[in-house]
Amino acid sequence: MSLRIRLSILITLLFMVVLVGAGAYIITNARHAVSEEIQSSARYTLQLVEVLLDSVDLSGRRGLQEMILDKLPTLDSARHLQISVLRQAQRVRPFPPQMRPVIVSEAPQWFVQLVQPAPMEFRRIIATPEEPYMEIIIHADPSDEITEVWYETRSVLFFLLLFIVLANALLYFTLGRYLAPIESILTGLERIEQGDYHLRLPRYKLPELTRISDKFNHMADVLLRSREENRQLTQKTLIIQEQERRHLAQELHDELGQSLSAIKAVAVTIEQKSSNMDESVRESAKAIGSFSERMYEVARNMMQRLRPSVLDELGLLLALQEMIDDWNERHGEVFCHFECKDRLLALGEEININLYRIIQESLTNVIKHAKAGEVYIKIKRSTEQLSIVISDDGNGFDPSVAQRGLGLLGMQERVQALNGMFEVNSEIKMGVRISIMIPLPNHSEAGESK
Cβ neighbours, 10 Å, residue 386: 21
54 touches 140 (CB < 8 A)? no
Q: What is the percentage of the chain residues whose pLDDT exceeds 70?
A: 80
Query: Cα–Cα–Cα angle for 208, 213, 216, nearest 5°?
Result: 125
What pLDDT score was predicted for residue 434? Answer: 92
Say whether pLDDT at 97 is over 60. no
284 assigned to some structural domain: no
User: What integer is the mean pLDDT of 12-17?
Assistant: 86
Q: What is the CATH number of the domain that holds 345?
A: 3.30.565.10
Say whether pLDDT at 449 is over 90. no
257 assigned to some structural domain: no
277 assigned to some structural domain: no
Rounded CA-CA distance 243/117 in Å is 103
Mention every residue, 6+ apart, whose C-beta is less than 8 A from residue 142: 34, 35, 37, 38, 80, 103, 116, 117
Say whether pLDDT at 345 is over 50. yes
Q: 141 lies in which domain range?
A: 3-177
What pLDDT score was predicted for residue 374? Answer: 92
375 assigned to some structural domain: yes
Convert the pLDDT of each residue in 165-206 to its tens digit: 888 888 888 877 777 788 888 888 888 887 788 888 888 887
205 assigned to some structural domain: no
User: What integer is the mean pLDDT of 380-392?
Assistant: 91
Total number of domains constituting the chain = 2
Domain boundary pick from 177, 200, 224 = 177
349 assigned to some structural domain: yes
Domain boundary pick from 156, 177, 198 = 177
Domain boundary pick from 127, 156, 177 = 177
22 assigned to some structural domain: yes
308 assigned to some structural domain: no
Look up residue 269 and give its amino acid.
T
247 touches 308 (CB < 8 A)? no
User: For residue 406, how far is the Cα from the chain centroid?
Assistant: 32
Convert the pLDDT of each residue in 303-331 to its tens digit: 777 777 777 778 888 889 988 998 999 88
Convert the pLDDT of each residue in 258-281 to its tens digit: 787 788 788 777 777 765 556 777
pTM attached to this predicted model: 0.52
User: For residue 358, how far is the Cα from the chain centroid?
Assistant: 36
Pairing label, strands 134-140, 121-126: antiparallel
